[in-house]
């Protein structure tokens, strides 16, 4: 089969033929129809993100495809089923504290690296081998829509945070990082879940205006000034009531003061979910006042990725017409042009923009 192979950090992907994956028990081979190219893929491939990866490797984080073959433990999947290839691979030998790797992308710790060495190659290829539980059916779709369904890859991340926060219909949410790729997807997802209002702070005025244009008065935008106390009060003031939940999705380049301004806008007894990248490249830690957390009964939790059932739930939101994939502007590249796709994704990131490879 043909694949794009990352052989060395800092070098272009090599488009070459390689052996097709061989299936084992507990595994599924999927014909890849469309694979998303993350906007920061270039930073992974050049080593800037310092991700744990075992080279050479076929990269690619998630995909939409059709089942080619499945193992004897698969009781529902059948050949030709449309599936989302969930890149979040969990070890199966400890349900309490599983090791995790993002197939074709990154690992976490030594256990994650061991897992990556088996589920090694990602989706920039004509076929991919994944764990049975990671081939999640999405129902029949038109082949022409497969690239747009890759938006699942983006929307599932904030959806995982909202589910972890037990976010409820009728609540008010503040999305820290609302003008980014994941943040804008969070705004759309929260509204689909029945949010009363989403507070969307940011510095990018055109992006803020675009959120308002797309979603109307249920989104209240705030132009950040950089003054932590002033920004916090303005976020609170624009909300139609106390802010029930804050989710942070800011990138590594953001400051901890920007995070704290949003986090501490939450109401007493409120919830905070941290899902961004602040601090991953070094710098200050997030300093939150102990008395404020304790006396106001604030719940603060981290969340990485999402639970497996989130895929099925989000597919239901899309099928019901509550979450519109039409928001996403998709640019597709052939597998032969994977390097051009990576460059395009880096130059054209941001809200509701998506680059995909179509093997």
DSSP conformational letter for 220? E
**2-151+328-358 has CATH 3.90.180.10 classification:** yes
* Mean of pLDDT values over 128-150: 97
Per-residue model confidence (pLDDT) at position 75 = 94
pLDDT of residue 56: 96
Residue 356 confidence (pLDDT) above 80 = yes
Across residues 31-36, what is the average pLDDT? 98
> Dihedral (C-alpha) 47, 159, 181, 45: value to the nearest 10 degrees?
20
- Judge contact between 3 and 124, C-beta under 8 A: yes
Residue of higher predicted confidence among 347 and 281: 347
For the segment 247-272, what is each residue's pLDDT rounded down to a tens digit?
Answer: 999 998 899 999 999 999 999 999 99
- pLDDT of res. 203: 94
Using omega within 30 degrees of 0 as the cis cutoff, is the peptide bond preceding 56 cis?
A: yes
- 253 burial (CB, 10 Å; 0-12 / 13-18 / 19+) is exposed
Per-residue model confidence as pLDDT tens digits over 160-183: 999 999 999 999 999 999 999 999
- What pLDDT does residue 8 have? 95
Q: Which residues pair with 15 in a beta bridge?
A: 4
Asked if 124 contacts 13 with a C-beta cutoff of 8 angstroms, the reply is yes
pLDDT in the model for residue 263: 98
Kindly report whether the global pTM for this prediction surpasses the value 0.85: yes
Note the pLDDT tens digit of each residue in 212-249. 999 999 999 999 999 999 999 999 999 999 999 999 99
Cβ partners under 8 Å of residue 230, min gap 6 = none
Quote the CA–CA distance of 115 and 267 in Å, as a whole number.
41
CATH of domain 155-302: 3.40.50.720
Same fold yes or no, 2-151+328-358 and 155-302: no
Domain boundaries, the chain: 2-151+328-358, 155-302
pLDDT band with cut points at 50, 70 and 90 for residue 50 = confident
Dihedral angle at the C-alpha atoms of 336, 342, 343, 347, nearest 10 degrees?
140
């Amino acid at each position: 089969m043909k694949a794009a192979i990352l052989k060395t950090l800092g070098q272009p992907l090599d488009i070459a033929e390689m052996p097709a994956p061989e299936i084992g028990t507990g595994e599924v081979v999927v014909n890849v129809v469309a694979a998303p190219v993350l906007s920061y893929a270039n930073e992974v491939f050049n080593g800037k993100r310092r991700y744990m990866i075992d080279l050479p490797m076929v990269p690619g984080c998630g995909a939409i495809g059709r089942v080619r073959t499945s193992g004897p433990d698969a009781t529902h999947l059948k050949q030709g089923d449309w599936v989302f290839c969930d890149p979040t691979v969990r070890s199966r030998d400890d349900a309490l504290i599983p090791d995790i790797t993002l197939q074709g992308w990154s690992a976490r710790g030594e256990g994650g690296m061991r897992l990556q060495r088996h589920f090694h190659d990602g989706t920039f290829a004509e076929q991919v081998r994944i764990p049975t539980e990671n081939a999640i059916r999405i129902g029949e779709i038109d082949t022409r829509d497969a690239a747009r369904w890759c938006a699942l890859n983006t929307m599932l991340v904030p959806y995982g945070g909202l589910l972890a926060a037990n976010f409820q219909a009728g609540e008010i949410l503040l999305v820290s990082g609302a003008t980014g790729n994941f943040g804008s997807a969070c705004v759309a997802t929260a509204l689909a879940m029945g949010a009363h209002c989403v507070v969307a702070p940011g510095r990018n005025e055109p992006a803020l205006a675009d959120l308002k244009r797309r979603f109307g008065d249920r989104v209240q935008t705030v132009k950040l000034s950089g003054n932590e106390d002033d920004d916090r009060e303005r976020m609170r003031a624009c909300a139609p009531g106390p802010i029930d939940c804050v989710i942070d999705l800011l990138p590594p380049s953001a400051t901890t003061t920007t995070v704290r301004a949003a986090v501490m806008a939450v109401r007493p007894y409120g919830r905070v979910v941290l899902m961004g990248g602040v601090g991953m490249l070094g710098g200050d830690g997030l300093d939150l006042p102990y008395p404020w957390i304790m006396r106001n009964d604030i719940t603060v939790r981290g969340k990485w990725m999402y639970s497996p059932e989130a895929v099925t739930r989000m597919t239901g939101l899309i099928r019901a017409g509550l979450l519109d994939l039409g928001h996403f502007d998709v640019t597709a590249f052939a597998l032969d042009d994977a390097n051009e796709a990576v460059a395009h994704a880096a130059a054209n990131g941001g809200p509701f923009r998506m680059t995909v490879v179509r093997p």
